[in-house]
Chains A and B, each alone.
Chain A
Amino acid sequence: MIALLLRDLNLAVRAGGGFGLALAFFLIVVVLVPFGVGPDSAILSAIAPGILWVGALLACLLSLDRIFALDHEDGSLDLLATAPIPLEGVVAMKAAAHWVTTGLPLTLAAPGLGMLLSLEPDAFGWQMLSLALGTPALSMIGTFGAALTVGLKRGGLLLSLLVLPLYVPTLIFGAELVARGADGMATATPLMMLAAITLATVALLPFAAAAAIRINLR
């Protein structure tokens, strides 16, 4: 299974692999917002946690349809389904590869971009923590959505519609965690909710996604 993770990471950094796509999109969103909203740092710092989270979420969404579509087109998915590794493991590795190529770079870039949005200095740590905790759930839910739409040509719109509602809890608790952290309020509740969502998706969705792929391959 590690071989699959390494192959996907390897493919992502080669030509046309899509590594950096999410990061570039995130950067564009965050750089454009101050132009749109105006340079008032009070307003910017108030909306910064939300903008960073919405930006990360949309950036994540951008690369979801690649997760299984490419493997389905070239026949790899059929072969992986008949390989000795369980399909649940394939799904988990795909989600992990997606997180390493999107969620992780977004998390690491967040403090630098937070500065552009006048994010409170106290909140930098919370921003990184919330993204580090929340983005694995985004990748896992997205992988599930990609598994549901794997047989469809140009299923990107359907995928977004399926996945966006499922992203909402992560978004709410993620942004809430940063906002509370910035204001110095108690953060335990959103922190634990965010961690719970991530753990639940990682525990349950590989099985659901594998079942969806089995049906779509028929």
Chain B
Amino acid sequence: MELTVENLACARGGVPVLEGVSFTLKAGQALLLRGPNGIGKTTLLRTLAGLQPALEGRVSVPPETMAYAAHADGLKATLTVTENLAFWARIFGQRGLGSALEDFNLTDLAHRQAQNLSAGQKRRLGLARLLVTGRPIWVLDEPTVSLDVASVALFGQAVKRHLQGGGAALIATHIDLGFQAEELDVTPFKAVPRQMDDFDEAFV
């Protein structure tokens, strides 16, 4: 199980933002994506997750191994914490919630509706979803937004356990997550501004 990215270029809104991105992510490894706002970290992660096509280059990864978590947590306000998690577990073909509630300190909130959670609690629930997907490669976009110091530590431990269990994680973040990981600054890959020559491509 390995994520290999070769010479990848991706675009947002028809404008190329990154090009020539290459890296390899092996089992047990975490890679932190760094770079200023607007450099294209989210676009890169969405491309890797298969939500948008790459302009050029190649992404090779075994099928059905990636779990993507974006800025939005995908929670339903009128479902409880447990119901939200159980839904995603079933969608990903997993039985039970495992230790997802305990790992993110959600046990006391298990029967509360998601609309009554604080922003940080919602974020923890969104991250707990990763544990119930049962997928080895986590692709996370700013996972620690609105988390307090203790919750960031919880998240750090969850990632460490995931890596020890043979998983891998690709995380776009601006802060120190409390564990050793390689860093990849994407700033040097900033695309040279160019016009897309094909109108149709730019349109879609």
Contact = CB atoms under 8 A, between A and B. Distances in A.
Interface of A: 3-4, 7, 10-11, 14-17, 73-76, 78-85, 215, 217-218
B68 A3 contact: no
Contact of B91 (A14, A85, A215): A85
26 contacts: A3-B87, A4-B87, A7-B76, A7-B87, A11-B76, A11-B79, A14-B78, A14-B79, A16-B78, A74-B73, A74-B75, A74-B76, A74-B77, A75-B74, A78-B51, A78-B68, A78-B70, A78-B72, A78-B74, A82-B68, A84-B64, A84-B93, A85-B91, A217-B51, A218-B51, A218-B204
B79 A74 contact: no
Interface string B52-66: 110000000000101
Interface residues of B, number: 29
Interface of B: 49-53, 64, 66-79, 83, 87-88, 90-93, 129, 204
Contacts of B76: 7, 11, 74, 76
Given A11-B78, A75-B72, A79-B129, 19 more contacts: A3-B91, A11-B79, A14-B78, A14-B79, A74-B77, A76-B75, A76-B76, A78-B51, A79-B68, A79-B74, A81-B51, A82-B50, A82-B67, A83-B91, A83-B92, A84-B91, A84-B93, A85-B91, A218-B53
Contacts of A76: 74-76
Nearest to A78: B70
Contacts of A3: 87, 90-91
Q: Is the interface of A mostly helix, strand, loop or mixed?
A: helix
B71 A75 contact: yes
A11 B50 CA distance: 28
Q: Is the interface of B mostly helix, strand, loop or mixed?
A: loop
A142 to B, nearest CB: 21
B88 A79 contact: yes
Contact of A75 (B49, B64, B70, B87): B70
B51 A75 contact: no
B181 to A, nearest CB: 23
A107 B69 CA distance: 40
Contacts of B66: 82
Contacts of B75: 74, 76
Nearest to A77: B74
